A and B are shown apart, each in its own frame.
Chain A
Amino acid sequence: MADVVLKNVQKSFGKAKVIYGVDLDIRDGEFVVFVGPSGCGKSTLLRLIAGLEDITAGDLSIGGERVNDLAPAKRGIAMVFQSYALYPHMNVYDNMAFGLELAKSSRAEIDRKVREAARLLQIEALLDRKPRQLSGGQRQRVAIGRAIVRDPKVFLFDEPLSNLDAALRVQTRIEIAKLHTDTRATMIYVTHDQVEAMTLADRIVVLNAGRVEQVGSPLELYHRPANLFVAGFIGSPQMNFIECRVAGVGPDEVLVSLPGGGSVSVPVLPHGVATGESITLGIRPDHVRISPEGALTGRVELVEELGENHLLYVDAGQGRRLTVREPGDARHEVGGTVSLDLAREFCHLFKSTGEALPSRVGTTNPAPSSPDLASRAA
């Protein structure tokens, strides 16, 4: 059993507080991704789990045992660093074997493990090479191999793909997912890339400035972001945000008036919002439709053709820019006027505190999850 439990874990570097009380319950065999903007404390949180930094306050337990004061080597973890952290003077074989040599393994046992990992990662032909003779992708494989041979209960990855080019990133991502299926080990993976987070994670932990914003499955975060930050962070292109006013409140819907004069009735629980209050409406580019009698009108500022779909950047007045994603080739030109319709069941409302209004009970996922997540992930 290798569940990882964080209870009010905090970290300060001197006077600078970096992690503000994180509570997390990572189950055995789960693939959890920490995602968040650069500098939000993802690496620090991972290094706290690894034992490379001391925990300032709170409790960390791995496999039911409190490990706050345990050396990294005793925690049953293996870590893959963003910079690979390979020993530059050792060949690939020694890089993988070095950490094992003290672990009371016999020569033959070490040899078997190293060759097994090399086979798994298809780096058997490289065993005699030095790291400098390898490409970035090969180095990353060696770094992963070094983690595999330790047979850890928990794998920790710190942005393992960020130094690779796009094609290699996709390929290695798939291999990491496969490694997870094969080993069933608990994996904690840090990235700033939400596509990696969406595709790899069983659960995503969205971090912002040292605090957990939301924890949930990729689709939960996508469809029901708990706040403005998560809504803006998850999903690409970013969700559109429109400043509105509450025009009316029903038992399970909120009527908002749009800046251009139109209005939308959003099926969410009002949760104490009052008529006249200002509120932020959020809607993803896929759910803004071009239709003859839309609630908003605007001028097309920019068109981006992506082949399978296209993006329209529409100026809806007062510098408010909306992104619209439509399938196929663009049928509108820059400078043209379009009328936009907001699909009401896909609208999110955020109070001025940033908190999202909960969607109506029963409407779990706005059913046919039309956002072509799969194609976006690729």
Chain B
Amino acid sequence: MSGAVAQTGVPVQSHVQGRRSSLTRSRIRAAWLFIAPSLIILALIAGWPLARTIWFSFTDADLNSLSDYEFIGFENYLANYDGEWLGLLTDPDWWHSVWNTVWFTLVSVSIETVLGIIVALILNAAFPGRGIMRAIILIPWAIPTVVSARMWNWMLHDQFGVINDMLLRLGLIAAPITWTANPDTALWTVVMVDVWKTTPFMALLILAALQMLPSDIYEAAKVDGVHPVRVFFRVTLPLIKPALLVAIIFRALDALRVFDLIYVLTSNAKDTASMSVYARQQLVDFQEVGLGSAASTLIFLIIALLTVMTLAAGRVRLGEDPR
């Protein structure tokens, strides 16, 4: 009797196993079926242009005759003609735009982070009209960048702008300032407009993190008599750090690609050109598709590298869940 059970037991078990693995196989097939459309669309709208741009960066293509080009290897990046180095990597304008972009990213994201934290802390406190304030603060973020940049352009206009007018009336300046044209003020002006526009985004992300915090630990700190400033640095900041890092990464990646704001505020001025502005200029104004593609490819590489680095650094820290 027991022998029969043992005998039938074996095939039954393997039968179960076989069914389980075929179930897994059909699940995997279904999964592929479901993600295939998005993979195809991604390949079409992101992969193909990217591949084409990288390909063009190795050619001497011209915007006038896009079909008529030759493969020239790395000459768009770096080439040696008769002992003279040429190419993108030797162009001081390119390096200036890289520096502008990095500087803009560091300064604007830092200011936005600090202001975002302050605004979020204020919005997190209970006060009458808090709901309305939360909605109002989002308005700068909701306006399209081109529109808000145009708006600021007018407000910053050296002759008709309201900002110069106010500063003059207050006696803070003696003569109107050409905010966006003056190399000394132009990049700071860009930073200021960007801060105005994206601080709400930072504040909202941080506010969401603040609202996830348990309230009881703040009462415990209150009973223990810990000073609020200390509570902020020792309790709040460490607890919102993961969310804060994500917000900073988001903003930094955005800032590294900055184009519309700078293009509208200062046009093609070399002093304020970002990497994207430089690439557009090569591509469209100078019709140098090859060189512009090389610049675009480098932008892609720089951002990809920074993303991978921040994600790797972030994963180490994010993995260390503070709760």
Contacts and interface: CB of A to CB of B under 8 A. Distances in A.
A85 B216 contact: yes
A86 interface: yes
A51 B223 CA distance: 8
B52 interface: no
A18 to B, nearest CB: 17
Contacts of A102: 225-227, 230
Interface stretch (B97-105, B234-242, B264-272): B234-242
Interface residues of B, number: 20
With most chain A CB atoms within 10 A of its CB, the pick from B220, B226, B322 is B220
A71 interface: yes
Given A88-B322, A89-B322, A73 B216 contact: no
B224 interface: yes
A73 B323 contact: no
A108 B224 CA distance: 19
A72 B225 contact: yes
Contact of A85 (B220, B225, B321): B220
B227 A89 contact: no
Contact of B224 (A51, A132, A150): A150
A344 to B, nearest CB: 51
Interface in B202-247: 214, 216-217, 219-227, 230, 234-235, 238-239
B214 A74 contact: no
A84 B219 CA distance: 11
B219 A85 contact: yes
Interface SS majority for chain B: helix
Interface in B277-323: 321-323
B238 A89 contact: yes
A99 B226 contact: yes
B291 to A, nearest CB: 50
Contacts of A361: none
B322 A146 contact: no
B219 A52 contact: yes
A103 interface: yes
Contacts of A86: 217, 220
Contacts of A83: 214, 216
Contacts of A98: 221, 224, 226, 234
Interface residues of A, number: 25
Contacts of B239: 88-89
Contacts of B216: 81, 83-85
A84 B222 CA distance: 14
Interface in A43-77: 50-52, 71-74, 77
Nearest to B224: A99
Contact of A50 (B223, B238, B323): B223
Given A72-B223, A73-B225, A79-B220, A87 B230 contact: no
Contacts of B238: 89
A72 B222 contact: yes
A150 B221 CA distance: 12
A98 B235 CA distance: 10
A74 B221 CA distance: 13
Contacts of B322: 88-89
A81 B235 contact: no
Nearest to B234: A98
A89 B233 CA distance: 12
A161 interface: no
B225 A87 contact: no
Contacts of B217: 85-88
A230 interface: no
A86 B322 CA distance: 12
A78 interface: yes
Contacts of B223: 50-52, 72-73, 77-79, 99
A74 B219 contact: no
A86 B214 CA distance: 10
Nearest to A99: B224
Contacts of B214: 83, 85, 88
Contacts of A146: 220, 224
B220 A74 contact: no
Given A89-B322, A132-B323, A81 B225 contact: no
Contacts of A103: 225
Nearest to B218: A85
Q: 10 closest pairs, A vs B, by CB?
A: A73-B225, A99-B224, A85-B216, A89-B322, A85-B220, A88-B323, A72-B223, A89-B238, A79-B223, A83-B216
Given A83-B216, A99-B220, A146-B224, 19 more contacts: A50-B223, A73-B224, A79-B219, A79-B223, A81-B219, A85-B216, A86-B217, A86-B220, A87-B217, A87-B220, A87-B235, A88-B217, A98-B221, A98-B224, A98-B226, A98-B234, A99-B225, A102-B230, A146-B220
24 contacts: A52-B219, A72-B222, A73-B222, A77-B223, A78-B224, A79-B220, A81-B219, A83-B214, A84-B216, A85-B216, A85-B217, A85-B219, A86-B217, A87-B235, A88-B322, A89-B239, A89-B323, A98-B221, A99-B220, A99-B223, A99-B225, A99-B226, A132-B321, A146-B224
Interface of A: 50-52, 71-74, 77-79, 81, 83-89, 98-99, 102-103, 132, 146, 150
